[in-house]
Chains A and B, each alone.
Chain A
Amino acid sequence: MAKEQSYFEWTAELFRREGLFDKPEALQGIRVLELTTLILGPSTADFLGEFGAEVIKVELPPGGDTMRYVTPRGTFWQNASLGFFPENHSKYHIAIDLHKPEGQALFRQLAARADVVVENFRAGTLDRWGIGYRDLSAINPRLVYVANSGFGQWGPFSHGRASYDAVAQTVSGMIQITGFPGRPPITCGIFIGDWFGAVMAATAALVALHHRRRTGEGQFIDYAQSEGLIRSLDWTWVYAGLTGRDRERVGNHDRALGAADIVRCRDGFVAVAAVTDPEFRGLCQAMGTPALAEDPRWATLAARLEPAHAEAVRRQLADWAADLTRADVEAAGEKHGFAAARVATSRDRYEDPHLRARAAVWDHEDGLYGAMVEQGPAPKLSATPGRIRWAARPVGWHNEYVFRTVLGLSPSEIQALEVQGVVGRWAERMGAKPPEGITADGSIA
């Protein structure tokens, strides 16, 4: 029966969004405890959570994670920062004052019941609080502990030096190889070092869990986001080693692929890449210059990579695209078999039916914030699809639930911790507090 289906009929059924929640989750039964701020740490835990891990996010009351205050032009939405949503999905939000010994003890009890701990404080901070890897591995030898940072847990730059995503972009050399020659350097428009670091760190956590399945042993992972970006700079380092030369920034074209550039057309910008011989022949057909592909200067990839030859093709491409629309260039790519794609705006992605059908753009109705549209889980897994259950929550939102169900504390014990200031909840402040009309016990007024 399956043989009669076309491949795409079969994949449409295999990845059908309806019924997605009835499928199992890859990481079910894994509990992640995170003590993190901004993006690198929170998204490491979030990626595990999207695929079924239970994530308990610990924040310091009453303000919580700094990302709760990062929002474009200071504009909050239903009292929340927009910056807090994309790395905090489906988590249980609790707030513990970790400067207090009782708070540290509470964290140790949670870690004793966790499979993975993720933190991104400056090196040694948790150790000083008595909740670092030395302390936690003594009570839970099966624990996988991910320490995310800018420069690592040891080494000359690790001592007292603060880091952010763009520090990693700077020290790794990424900024120097990005942008146009002769212009001031620019940072990436997104927090690229954080996000890339998070998927790398989350992958290492999964690798460590694989080792744990084989041996029962947990372990310690030191991940520095600057070092992750260094790893991602493809041929930069081998080029320096073999030629003694520094890689320079060259704008939007690609010195290693030949005919690949971003070009301006009538209604915006479009990226084109025609790398292999058949792709390049297709591009030449589309441009109405099929003879170009037979000319020895462009007939082979090696010839097309000659800087002068590459430059000539770039000019030809720019002239051809200038009078077309983005859709025209994309259609030419479809017809002739080279890569062409619009330089997408957030609105392009928001309105794209393809991305909606794939739940790469995920719409859901959240219990607290109502209708939401966010980027969905990145890889699509046929048997255990990733999912978003609910959006981020205010500081300390799940205190009662977590302390009751995970640690078995009674309501009066939880209340006593609150009175002592060991456990806390949101400040009456934009970013930390719930939307208007939500009462302190979490019910809707």
Chain B
Amino acid sequence: MSTPDAPASARPPWAEFARGMTAPERAATKPEALDDLLVLDCSTGNFAGLFASSILAEFGAVVIRIEPPGGDVARQFSPDGLQHHGTGLAYLVEGRNKHHVTLNLEDPEGRLLLRRLAGKADVLIETHRPGQMDAWGLGYRQLSQLNPRLVYVAISTHGQFGPRAASPIPDHDLTNQALSGVPYVTGEPEGPAGPEPHAVPTRQGNWAGWYFGGAWAAFAAMAALAWRATSGRGQLCDVSPAEAEARMADYGLHWYHSHRQIWERGGAFNPSLYPYTLVRTRDGYAFLAGFSDPNWTGVTNIMGRPDLRERFPTMRDRTAAEKQPEIHREIEAWSSQLTSHELLEKVMDYMLHKRGPGTVATARVNSPKDTLDERHWWERGVFQHVEDPHYGRLLLQAPPWKMSRTPPRLKWACRPVGADNPRIFARYLGLPPSELQALRARGVI
């Protein structure tokens, strides 16, 4: 075995090198990983489907977004009903990089046009109730005969098989979250006062069910495409956003299996880790972590309280239900004298100057506008002001991955309903303007 010849010190610093490879301002000059793929997004009122196709579109796939002639109801999902140029705010985020066409799938003519598109497509995403597309002759059973290479992604709360698969309930974020087990373990526990409106199982504020489901759907499509490259064959990917989020529900099943313990919500306290918690500061709240033994040494050094690690020396001590509030009071007595920024400065001073053992992490609880005020995200291209020809200037979150050869990108924000009908139907199906006009008159597009 040999060791490297060149000393590492002769090279430019890692951060500089990494930035050179992945600088977002150069993304547009590089190739796109998925620009050989055609994706159809037939999702309906569903941001799991929309997020899945956004991911593929960010990596360069040509995504045709298929809406009913009046527009998808997802365009109405918006805080307090707020509309911007006729579209809700949530859709403005996930319309990105997609070509927007209309097709009435209730109409046999519309279904025939979708079949023709599916014959050319690599991936189809849909979120109808299980069996609906099949009943229309547009399910995987039928489309795979037309196009055996098709990867068909079906998204639905209870999935395409199993005792509840035939359930008629629509796929919604909140019910997906509820079934995942995550809200049950999130939120403030009931206090001695009994039931209170805020001391209940708590949902994530964002559409975690839909976004997790969508991310898994994109993963499934990419895995199926890898298999297609080997076998030449597509397949049916059955994605339940409830199960997608449940895959991430830590070790609740394991704990029930091993000790018949039901994991309960603990508010500030995680049953496995302490400190790993939000603490009061002079100007709000901050997160503070240092739960392993060396890292707890770090926390107690920064606090100047070595006595605490003698009183609570092991992870078992620190995760005992009766001891956690006691340690919490000690930490808050100290942290509430500091601003969140002063707390961060103290931690960074300890870490960067290696003043003692242990890795300690802290962060101020940011409001979204606090996050928008931090330079780090703007330098890294996490946010982008998109100049959209129809919707104007929009502040959007950019794709989160930095990649050296095929960086994903945000090219346009959204399109009005059916705006791409002429171009897409001419390009893929050869439909001339007169025929489009006739289809429009018949309510097909």
Contact = CB atoms under 8 A, between A and B. Distances in A.
Given A241-B394, A344-B181, A191 B278 contact: no
Interface in A77-99: 77, 82-83, 85-86
B95 to A, nearest CB: 11
Contacts of A379: 216-217, 219-220, 223, 237-239, 244
Interface in A23-56: 24-30, 47, 51
A134 B174 contact: no
A321 to B, nearest CB: 13
Interface string B132-168: 0011000111000000000000000111111111111
Contacts of A319: none
B390 interface: no
B14 A124 contact: yes
Given A10-B141, A154-B19, A381-B237, A260 B251 contact: no
B205 interface: yes
Interface in A195-242: 195-196, 199-204, 206-211, 213-214, 217, 219-224, 227-228, 230-242
A25 to B, nearest CB: 8
A111 interface: no
A325 interface: no
B208 interface: yes
A288 interface: no
A350 B45 contact: no
B204 A210 contact: no
A207 B177 contact: no
A198 B121 CA distance: 28
Contact of B219 (A47, A234, A345, A354): A47
Contacts of B8: 127-128, 130
Q: Which of B164, B218, B252 has the most CB of A within 10 A?
A: B252
Contacts of A206: 219, 222-223, 225-226
Interface string B276-290: 111010000111010
B207 to A, nearest CB: 5
A220 B403 contact: yes
Contacts of A230: 371, 377, 382-383, 397, 400
Contacts of A375: 243, 246-247, 249, 253
**Dominant SS at the A interface?**
mixed
A306 B83 CA distance: 12
Q: Contact residue range for chain B?
A: 35 or more
A32 to B, nearest CB: 13
B439 interface: no
Given A130-B4, A196-B215, A348-B181, 20 more contacts: A69-B292, A71-B251, A72-B261, A105-B1, A106-B1, A133-B21, A155-B380, A178-B205, A190-B248, A203-B218, A203-B222, A209-B226, A224-B380, A249-B205, A260-B174, A262-B203, A334-B168, A349-B246, A372-B254, A378-B244
A114 interface: no
B231 interface: yes
Contact of B202 (A77, A101, A151, A180): A180
A327 to B, nearest CB: 13
Interface in B1-53: 1-4, 8, 11, 13-19, 21-22, 31, 33-34, 36, 45, 47
Given A161-B348, A257-B77, A262 B178 contact: yes
Contacts of A147: 18
A341 B173 CA distance: 11
Interface stretch (B98-106, B108-116, B183-191, B429-437): B183-191
B396 interface: yes
Contact of A227 (B268, B359, B369, B380): B380
Contacts of A257: 77, 172-174
Contacts of B267: 186
A51 B225 CA distance: 12
B365 interface: yes
Contacts of B314: 74
Given A208-B403, A240-B368, A74 B320 contact: yes
A164 B15 contact: no
A353 B162 CA distance: 9
Interface in A332-361: 333-334, 337-350, 353-355, 357-358, 360-361
